[in-house]
A and B are shown apart, each in its own frame.
Chain A
Amino acid sequence: MFRQASRLLARTTTATTWRRSRAFSTDLPATPTEDSTFIESWKKVIPNMDPPKTPSSFMTPRPATPSSIPSKITVNFVLPYASELSTKEVDMVIVPATTGQMGVLPGHVPTIAELKPGILSVHEGNDVTKYFLSSGFAFIHANSVADIIAVEAVPLDCIDPALVQKGLAEFTQRLGTATSDLEKAEAQIGVDVHSALNSALTG
């Protein structure tokens, strides 16, 4: 039994005991690769057998959250066909969430945000890079890493204003003449996207 105990101790990662409910998210260690409560209860009941591995031991541990807020956020901005920004350290990003433009600073509360068509701006010192996103999601993690995924993202000067106006007029007209729910929804999407493109170009 003592032979097993030392082997189990050797397997433990740098993490300390993992409690099921965390009150504060300051100084979180990485999630351990062993479920210590399960192993302890197992050993009480069946001390002679090795405890089986639980699913958490097969998962990669969640990275540790530093106790002090880092000075920059790390942004990963990916599209289905290219990786626009890969672990780039920036000061702030503003993402077009469905609930409004959301500014993300280092130390932001972990958030999952659905994005609407709009502008993503990446602020690094005095430089601001803007992209127009068609839609997507933004995942902000506790360790100040932001993963932004979009289906289509273009720099603002790749957008043709004449086509935007034409599209807006066409979809507004389609919205007026739409009959079925699906047609109305498609026309409404067209109006939303083109108005967002319009305000991106003029704003």
Chain B
Amino acid sequence: MASNAAVPFWRAAGMTYITYSNICANLVRNCLKEPYKTEALAREKVHFSISKWTDGKPEKPTLRSDSPVE
């Protein structure tokens, strides 16, 4: 197996497999018929809070409710 074998185009462009797979999944979800589409998008919503730490202390956290971006 050649270590410099033809890589997939997405890896050549700097994308990882997970990013590729998530993009494919989002595209498929966006092509669904109505009740399934809203269920699928609702299922994939994420809600999280991020806080940056400086000098060993957390700063104010930001709350994010991102719906999946393509």
Contact = CB atoms under 8 A, between A and B. Distances in A.
Given A134-B25, A158-B36, A167 B30 contact: yes
A186 B70 CA distance: 9
Contacts of B9: 185, 188
B52 interface: no
B31 A152 contact: no
A189 B16 CA distance: 13
Contacts of A136: 21
B64 interface: no
Interface size grouping (class) on chain B: 20 to 34
Given A154-B36, A159-B32, A185-B13, 11 more contacts: A134-B21, A136-B21, A152-B28, A167-B27, A167-B30, A181-B14, A182-B13, A185-B10, A188-B10, A189-B24, A194-B31
B10 to A, nearest CB: 5
B21 A185 contact: no
Interface in A131-163: 132, 134-136, 151-152, 154, 157-160, 163
Interface of A: 81, 117, 132, 134-136, 151-152, 154, 157-160, 163-164, 167, 181-182, 184-186, 188-190, 193-194, 197
Contacts of A151: 21-22, 24-25
B33 interface: yes
Contacts of B36: 154, 158
A185 B14 CA distance: 9
A117 B15 contact: no
B13 A117 contact: no
Contacts of A157: 33
A194 B21 contact: no
Interface in B8-54: 9-10, 12-15, 20-25, 27-34, 36-37, 40, 43
Contacts of B21: 134-136, 151
Contact of A189 (B23, B33, B37): B23
Contacts of A194: 27, 31
B32 A189 contact: no
B22 to A, nearest CB: 7
A125 B26 CA distance: 33
A154 B70 CA distance: 18
A24 B26 CA distance: 43
Contact of B24 (A134, A158, A159, A184): A134
